[in-house]
Each structure stands twice: as C-alpha cells, then as structure tokens.
C-alpha cells in the first residue's frame, strides 16, 4: 500500500531502566500526508515520561492483544495498539491492573491513570491509517492496516517470537503471519485486548486534541471527530477540512450539496 497514504504513529514503548535525567527514546512518527507531522510529533513530545522498571518476560508464550480506536468518527485517523502484558504486572500493582478493561467502560480520568500505568509497565506499540487511506481502501482495511503496523512495531521491541495475537471482534487480521484468535467482546474478556483499547483510545484522543488547534471551528477537542450535533452544525457552517473522511455518508452527502 502506498506510503503516501499511510499515517503511521509507529511508536513503541518498552519498559527499561534509564539513567536518572536521561532522555528516553521516543516512537518514530511517519506522516506522509495531510501535513500532520508536526502536530503528531508535538503529541509525543508532550506525553509525560516516567522512569520505569525492567520487567523480565518469564512465561513460555508471548500472547499479545490488539484493538483500535476511531473506526466510527467522521474525521481523523484510525489508531491501533498492540500490547504485551508480562505476568508480573498483576503482582506489581494489582490496583491498576484490575482496572484494565474496555476503554469505553471507564471514565477519562481513570483511563488516563491506567494508560500511564501501561505505558510505564507494559510493552506497547502503535499503528494508524489516515483519512485518505480510509477513503481509498475503506475503514475495515484501514483498521487492519493499523493493527498490522502496531503488531509489527511491538515485535521489534519484544525481540522474541509472538506466539498468539488476540484480536478484538469477530474477524481475524488478514495478511498477518502470526497465529491469531478473534474474540467477540475481547476488550472485556481479555486483559491484553482491554489494555490495547486504552492505549489506542488515549493516543487518538490526544491527537484529535492537537488537531483541534489547527481546526478549532470543528470542536475536535470535544467530540474527537465523532458525529455529534455540534460537529454536524460546524460542517454545515464551515464545510469539510483535510482530515474529514469523504467516503463516510454524512461527509459525502455534504459534499454533494
């Protein structure tokens, strides 16, 4: 698929010891369309850096979870996250570990706290597809693309074979060379999928809040690109912008007027 259409937040977070005061390595962001590079880089640069402990992987199998955020919105990218939860996490901090669930089931405040815990203690990676990609291939293909990217990025930091990928939903990811299992309501039933849903949700929300500064008239900071009344009113008044998904019916209908 064309790199010109790929909006990849191709970052990875791996727990490791860092010297006091050292600047941690950040995920590389690749943005080849829509002029979002500066905004995206600004998001990662603002993310709080926490000194983290090394967690040794002791279990015999590496089972990861993957989920997405942003399939339904009228604007913005679809973002996917892949997460590996070492067995030790439940013992290190059972309070936060027990709060890992579907990102939609917890408050924003609670979600941010669990997100920080996961970024500090777990192994996480991201992938994404921009609105142009969505329009060219459709939202399902864009979601699969983002998921594949997140999984490949996670494998790079794990430096070990991935034994099984747990995917939220009822469809497996095509073109994936790893064994996988699709789980309906996986973000409730499996901790690793729930963790991925939280990482993807928070990262995408932060991106949309940054995009709000470029397109303040649409209110992206509030609705994150979803089809709210306020969003519809802004579209009627200002028309569409570069990050709207032109293949989505409400946007396509507006363009025909």
- Asked if 197 and 66 touch (Cβ cutoff 8 Å), the reply is no
**Nearest of 119, 170, 125, 114 to residue 147 by alpha carbon:** 125
pTM: 0.79
Q: 27 pLDDT exceeds 70?
A: no
Give the pLDDT mean for 77-104.
89
Cα(158)–Cα(190) distance, rounded to whole angstroms?
20
CATH number of 5-9+26-256, picked from 3.30.420.10, 3.30.1240.10, 1.10.10.10, 3.40.50.720: 3.30.420.10
* Per-residue pLDDT at 33: 36
Q: 214 pLDDT exceeds 50?
A: yes
For residue 211, what are its two tokens? 């995009």
**Nearest of 24, 205, 186, 196 to residue 108 by alpha carbon:** 205
DSSP string, 8-23: EEE-EE------TTPP
Query: What is the bridge-based pairing of β-strands 12-13 and 7-10?
Result: unpaired
Residue with tokens 């970024």: 119
- Asked if 75 and 42 touch (Cβ cutoff 8 Å), the reply is no
Give the pLDDT mean for 71-84.
98
Domain residue ranges of the chain, discontinuous segments joined by +: 5-9+26-256
Cα(199)–Cα(103) distance, rounded to whole angstroms?
9
């Amino acid at each position: 698929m064309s790199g010109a259409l790929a909006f990849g937040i191709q970052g990875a977070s791996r727990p490791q010891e860092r010297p006091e005061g050292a600047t941690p390595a950040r995920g590389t962001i690749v943005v080849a369309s829509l002029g979002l590079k500066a905004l995206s880089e600004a998001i990662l640069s603002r993310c709080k850096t926490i000194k983290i402990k090394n967690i040794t992987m002791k279990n015999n199998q590496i089972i990861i979870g993957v989920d997405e955020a942003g399939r339904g919105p009228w604007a913005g990218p679809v973002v996917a996250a892949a997460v590996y939860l070492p067995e030790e996490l439940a013992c290190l901090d059972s309070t936060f570990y027990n709060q890992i669930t579907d990102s939609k089931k917890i408050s924003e405040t609670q979600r941010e706290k669990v997100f920080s815990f996961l970024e500090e203690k777990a192994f996480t990676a991201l992938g994404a597809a921009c609105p142009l990609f969505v329009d060219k291939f459709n939202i399902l293909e864009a979601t699969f693309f983002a998921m594949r990217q997140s999984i490949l990025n996670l494998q790079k930091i794990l430096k070990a074979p991935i034994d099984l990928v747990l995917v939220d939903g009822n469809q497996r990811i095509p073109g994936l060379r790893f064994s996988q299992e699709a789980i309906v309501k996986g973000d409730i039933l499996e901790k690793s999928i729930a963790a991925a849903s939280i990482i993807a949700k928070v990262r995408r929300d932060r991106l949309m809040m940054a995009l709000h500064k470029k397109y303040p008239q649409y209110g992206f900071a509030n609705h994150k690109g979803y089809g709210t009344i306020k969003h519809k009113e802004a579209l009627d008044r200002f028309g569409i912008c570069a990050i709207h998904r032109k293949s989505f019916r409400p946007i396509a209908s507006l363009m025909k007027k």
